Structure 1
Amino acid sequence: MYSKIFKEIVEVMHHDYAGYIDKIGWDRPNDYKKRIRNLERNNALNTTLFSEIVNDYLLDFKDPHVYLKVSTDKTNQEYQIGFNVRRYANRLFVTNVTKEKRLQSGHEIISVDYIPIDVLVHKHRRELRDDGAEREDWRPILKKYYQCEVRTADGSTFSMEFNQYEKKLHTPPYKIEKYNDSTLLLTFTDFKDPDGIKKLLNHYMEDLIQYENWIIDIRTNYGGSDVAFHSIIPYLFPEGENQIDLSEKYAMKFNCTEKNYERIKQSFEKELQTIKDEKAKQSLANYLYQWEENKGKGFVAFNSNVSKIIEGKKMPKQVAVLIDRYCSSSGEVFADICKHSDKVTLIGRPTYGINGYGNITCAVWNNRFELYYPTSRLNSMDKGKTLLDVAVHPDVYLPWTPEHLERDVDLLEAEKQLSSK
């Protein structure tokens, strides 16, 4: 069973994945086929090990939008270690704690399984992608180890075995709150619920048109759909008619294979049944129609208007948008649109840079294994750009340091920028 599934995964990556034309010869499927076959013969392969092997194979494509996930049920739960870290020099700093109560924000991890951090960086350079310390994702790496050595704020140290905590579904805390007498703080941790965002904006409509300044926090944004943020965009541009052109960066082609069409159709028909916002529904229906019209034709440019006319609003007068490496997918598109407005200043660090290959779909095997991969490719990738090249870069760059754990450096800079203008 596992050998057959892996063979079909390779076929997807060599035919349906939108980045395959740039990455011919990058992967080594035969090495993994032999390993899987040998493990099967010895009856030594299970769901977890197979998933680990496949995800190791997928690393060769150097695309964060590509991964294999095992669907969860009562017999198979997804776990996490209960905290997040960020590297600075040769230490991992705990940035936030979800479940692991033995740790606090600001604690330092100085070794893992008695291995110094700089050695781990070298060992896991494929997973870390060599983008620099502030852009690394250590969550999947720490899950592979048993224990760590921790240094506290007073300089004392202790050893701690990693625990496994059941991963909960992300619940997006869309929030609008008063920051000071002239400023609202808006937080969006994803753009997956257009109805929810529109409902929030309607609820706070009176405040939205009274406050002179907004700060929008998308430093952590898990993406979703561009249609979800359409109702926010008019507020971000000066009053009157504004024309923006995203064609140079976002012109793209879709890999319209028959299988991609079937997978896209299945997921979007489900989504259309749940969305109430008519504009969002029409946008998704048009997208699905273009897939149907072009299925089987290979790479095709869809009819999409990347030059937009936006009718701006009087208020707010100025906006600061906070971005970071954990802002991805449609969150990055939102940040890019903001960059075209004289009202907006982007503050923080470059976004994830994940949109070179986008519009994700999913192939499923046995109702258990889910392979996520992009179906579209930016034309700009023809120029040999990296994913960091297509990230959105801030107007005011603030490198991440442990000082961010003591005070919100980005938010304070946003306040400074707004007051100075």
Structure 2
Amino acid sequence: MQTNKIHELAEDIVNIVTHDYARYNEISNKRVHRDYLNNITNGMDYNKFYKITDRYLKIFKDGHLRIKDNTGEILKNNFKVRRFNNKLYVTESNQNSPVQIGESITAIDEKTIDYIAQENQDILDESPERQDFSFILDHGREITLSNGKKINLIKDKTYLSHKSKYEFHKINQETMYLKFNDFNNAAEINNKIDIYREELDNSKNLLIDLRENKGGNDNSYFGLLDYVFKDKKYYSELKKEKDFIYYNVTKRNLDLRKKMLFSFLKPNDMKDTMLDKVIKKETAFFENNLGKGLVPYNDSEDIDFFINGKNKPQRIIVLTDYFCASSGENFIELVQKSSKVTVIGRNTMGVTDYSNCCEENKGDFSIIYPISKRSYVDYGLGILGKGIKADIYIPWTPEFIKEDQDLALALKIFKKSSI
């Protein structure tokens, strides 16, 4: 990164947020941008620039708006935590982590968890249960455990990186269990469905675990919808009334969107295919409305198919929590329309109000941001900061580290319905 042009890069990031980002016209606090730029100076090192920019983008509390390191040099904390009361409990760690799963943290850099939450309320959720302390741990130096022991934090380049995991197995004779930690790979998911089709067709109960689902592509879960719904219907019938999207039609967004869309096509795909038609329609829309800001776009005709509903499984439970985001949330929203389905756990992350992300590559880093807004936000029905509500709420407690209470309740409900 050219250190003599760091301030210029920061100014362009502010321009993305205030001009190209789908929420550009909802951001009224100009001081946030001014404070960010005042903290950026030419000549500062990349790590400091990354940290300041990361924090600036987190102020908007939109999981789809973020900075991504392309160098592999940014160090991260190497364990995960969840907050309960005034402690952080370790829920995941690796062999290099200085703490073990189940241990609890009472302070970071000699500041209590409650004090840190107050100090960082501009980037943390109001609800303690939904607070993500990863940024604070990434930049902290020392933690204090509940037993009073102080430990220096270890930062890794290869921290707890995400790997797609799709798990299918029978819990018991009547119940099939599916786990998706993302919806990134439609081909692999559909292949799994084909392999386990007989078990799915003959299972009385289906348990779908979307906890910590990081999203991906909606078409990855389309193959499951025949099992989710009992009645036959078209996919388009499931959309909310007056549910459409606005695209923020700027020159930057046109260029980035075209680049991304055309990357989906193989050389022999540039024919009269459905994908080709969708790309041409969207590109023409952007070119015809360039510079108009948020413009309504009807995407209901782009993707439609027939859902061949099935009687079995008869009962479906979907597990969800705060770390279920993006396409995972779209799935939750969709399946709650089925009489078969009960969603249990905690509210999802709440990032689908603004989606269709673009990536602006700046060399050492990229800025990822959404360019579309869903129409229901204007009716006060947005889920940003709230998430999609579970049908049965189960608060997270440290007992989850020893026993999966979501799973236990799901199996109890299945057993009761069998009596």
How big is the shift at 1:102?
4.2
Pick from 172, 186, 195 the counterpart of residue 180 of structure 1. 172
Q: Structure 2 vs 1, CA of residues 249 and 316 (structure 1 numbering), >3 Å: closer, same or farther?
A: farther
**Distance in 1 (alpha carbons) for counterparts of 2:275 and 2:357:** 14
Q: Structure 2 vs 1, CA of residues 51 and 226 (structure 1 numbering), >3 Å: closer, same or farther?
A: same
Q: Residue in 2 aligned with 1:18?
A: 22
> What SS is found at the alignment partner of 1:128?
coil
Equivalent positions of 1:7-406 (< 5 A) are: 7-36=11-40, 39-40=41-42, 43=43, 45-72=44-71, 76-130=72-126, 132-151=127-146, 156-167=147-158, 169-241=161-233, 244-248=237-241, 250-273=243-266, 285-295=276-286, 296=290, 297-305=292-300, 310-365=307-362, 367-384=363-380, 387-388=383-384, 391-406=387-402
> What SS is found at the alignment partner of 2:361?
strand
> What SS is found at the alignment partner of 1:238?
coil
* Aligned partner letter, 2:409: E
Unpaired segments ≥5 residues, structure 1 = none
How big is the shift at 1:357?
1.1
**Distance in 2 (alpha carbons) for counterparts of 1:410 and 1:20:** 38
**Distance in 2 (alpha carbons) for counterparts of 1:128 and 1:25:** 17
* Aligned partner letter, 2:309: G
**Distance in 2 (alpha carbons) for counterparts of 1:109 and 1:357:** 34
* Aligned partner letter, 1:288: I
CA contact (8 A) 2:352 2:384 kept: no
Unpaired segments ≥5 residues, structure 2 = none
Offset from partner CA, 1:320-366 (integer Å, 9 cap, x none): 1000000000100001111000111101000001111111111122x
* Aligned partner letter, 2:60: F
Q: CA RMSD in A?
A: 2.5
Offset from partner CA, 1:202-246 (integer Å, 9 cap, x none): 111221112111100001111111111111111111154477432
Moved more, 241-250 or 290-299: 241-250
* Aligned partner letter, 1:54: T
Q: Structure 2 vs 1, CA of residues 282 and 158 (structure 1 numbering), >3 Å: closer, same or farther?
A: farther
**Distance in 1 (alpha carbons) for counterparts of 2:119 and 2:198:** 54
CA contact (8 A) 2:238 2:334 kept: no
TM-score normalised according to structure 2 size: 0.89
TM-score normalised according to structure 1 size: 0.88
CA contact (8 A) 1:268 1:284 kept: no
**Distance in 2 (alpha carbons) for counterparts of 1:34 and 1:164:** 28
> What SS is found at the alignment partner of 1:95?
strand
**Distance in 1 (alpha carbons) for counterparts of 2:87 and 2:21:** 36
**Distance in 2 (alpha carbons) for counterparts of 1:325 and 1:248:** 27
Moved more, 298-307 or 194-203: 298-307
Report how many residues are paired: 403
Offset from partner CA, 1:60-96 (integer Å, 9 cap, x none): 4332221122213xxx434332211111111111112
Runs of 4+ in 1 over 4 A off after TM superposition: 281-287, 306-309
How big is the shift at 1:51?
1.6
> What SS is found at the alignment partner of 2:369?
strand
Offset from partner CA, 1:115-136 (integer Å, 9 cap, x none): 1111111111112132x11111
How big is the shift at 1:284?
5.0
How big is the shift at 1:308?
7.5
> What SS is found at the alignment partner of 2:308?
strand
